[in-house]
Amino acid sequence: MSLTDDVARLRQEAFDEIGRADSPERLNQIQIKYLGRKGAVTAVLKGLKDLALDERKKVGAAANRVRAELEEQIKETLGKLSVAAAGDAFDYTLPGTAPRLGAIHIVNQVIDEACLIFQRMGFAIERGPDIETDYYNFEALNFPPDHPARDMQDTMFVEGNGVLRTHTTPVQARVLETQKPPIKAITPGLCFRNEAISTRSHVAFHQVDGFLVDEGVTMGDLKGALVAFCKAFFGEKVAIRFRPSFFPFTEPSAEVDVSCFLCDGKGCQVCKQTGWLEILGCGMIHPAVLEKAGHDPEKYTGYAFGIGMERPAMLKYRINDIRLFFNNDVRFLKQFC
Ligand code: DAH
């Protein structure tokens, strides 16, 4: 057997032992056994000087190659063993990293709360499109053609014949067209107006409208429903008052104030010392609205109301800037999770 064969055999032995090694300590021993000062491969290299030139070249090259290969193989195996060791060291009892969960936006929470109160009173929920036709947003609701709300100043128009709905009352017109009395529904949703953005107003906001159409519906029914809602929403102690007002789609029309629930009506900064907060518009559905939808106003009457939801949310949670609702700053939003 030649010396080169010996080197090849050493290589095979070493590789086998590295393959079986199960710890860094064992690898260290193998390293010493073959490549250490008194190691087997080192011995071959040391013995080169006694060889003839030809033999020296051949055996030297082979031994050097094997040394490099073994060093590489030991390094690689050491890497694998340390990964496995780290895997074993994993502490399964450590608390995990909790994923960040989303939550319902504060305005939607307030809307949900209002809807639930009306649902308990027997109102169904109806929805309509954010992009409306001029017909449902205005005409079906008895707005005369020259009504100022149709002005570019208030309404955002969409290419074609559309508008971004300026209130959710158009859903009332749509439902009236497709259902037969008795109809009792609320219509929550997003509305848009071309307003200057400030602490108190925004181009987008939410309303919950509601209405009831049946035989013999009176203003007394409207008052009963609104008192029940306000007590459930703002608290038992709250009082409400009606002030005459005007909307094209109701006659008579009123605006409703609740006694300030922050100072119990005594007068504070929020209610500007009046003791009252305006929260909604309402009235008896105009006969022209019923007639346009195909209902006989001699037979049926109805009431309707519309509540802007941002203002009660601001009052309830003492939020002083409406823009906070739309900026989506998580530091603000997560206070209401
Ligand atoms: N749509 C009105 C507004 O945006 C609010 C309103 C008033 C709705 C009276 C009604 C209502 O349904 O009967 O200002």
| CATH value at residue 227 | 3.30.930.10
191 in any annotated domain? yes
CA of 271 relative to ligand 1 center, distance in Å: 22
CA 69, distance to chain mean position in Å, is 57
- Please tell me whether residues 58 and 128 are part of one structural domain: no
199 neighbors 323 (Cβ within 8 angstroms): yes
Last residue of a domain, one of 56, 86, 116: 86
Question: What residue owns the CA closest to ligand 1's atom 12?
Answer: 305
Mean pLDDT for 123-138 is 96
Distance CA 327, CA 337 (A): 16
Q: Is 12 exposed, middle or buried (0-12, 13-18, 19+ CB in 10 A)?
A: exposed
99 in any annotated domain? no
- Please tell me whether residues 283 and 170 are part of one structural domain: yes
The parent domain of residue 242 ranges over 106-336
For ligand 1, whether the C-beta of 209 sits within 6 Å is yes
Ligand 1 atom having least distance to the Cα of 307 = 5
246 in any annotated domain? yes
For ligand 1, whether the C-beta of 305 sits within 6 Å is yes
For ligand 1, whether the C-beta of 167 sits within 6 Å is yes
91 in any annotated domain? no
| pLDDT tens by residue, 244-273 | 999 999 999 999 999 988 888 888 877 889
- Asked if pLDDT for residue 151 goes beyond 80, the answer is no
For ligand 1, whether the C-beta of 208 sits within 6 Å is no
CA of 333 relative to ligand 1 center, distance in Å: 29
| pLDDT tens by residue, 68-106 | 999 999 999 998 888 777 776 777 888 888 888 889 999
Distance CA 293, CA 295 (A): 6
73 in any annotated domain? yes
| pLDDT tens by residue, 215-249 | 999 999 999 999 999 999 989 989 999 999 999 99
For ligand 1, whether the C-beta of 281 sits within 6 Å is yes
Q: Residue 88's pLDDT is what? A: 65
How many domains would you assign to the chain?
A: 2
The Cβ of residue 227 has, within 10 Å, a number of other Cβ atoms equal to 15
Question: What residue owns the CA closest to ligand 1's atom 2?
Answer: 306
CA of 234 relative to ligand 1 center, distance in Å: 20
Question: What residue owns the CA closest to ligand 1's atom 7?
Answer: 281
- Please tell me whether residues 255 and 330 are part of one structural domain: yes
For ligand 1, whether the C-beta of 306 sits within 6 Å is yes
- Please tell me whether residues 166 and 136 are part of one structural domain: yes
- Please tell me whether residues 154 and 293 are part of one structural domain: yes
Distance CA 317, CA 329 (A): 16
- Please tell me whether residues 164 and 266 are part of one structural domain: yes
For ligand 1, whether the C-beta of 205 sits within 6 Å is no
294 in any annotated domain? yes
For ligand 1, whether the C-beta of 282 sits within 6 Å is yes
266 neighbors 253 (Cβ within 8 angstroms): no
Q: Residue 119's pLDDT is what? A: 98
CA of 138 relative to ligand 1 center, distance in Å: 12
- Please tell me whether residues 73 and 154 are part of one structural domain: no
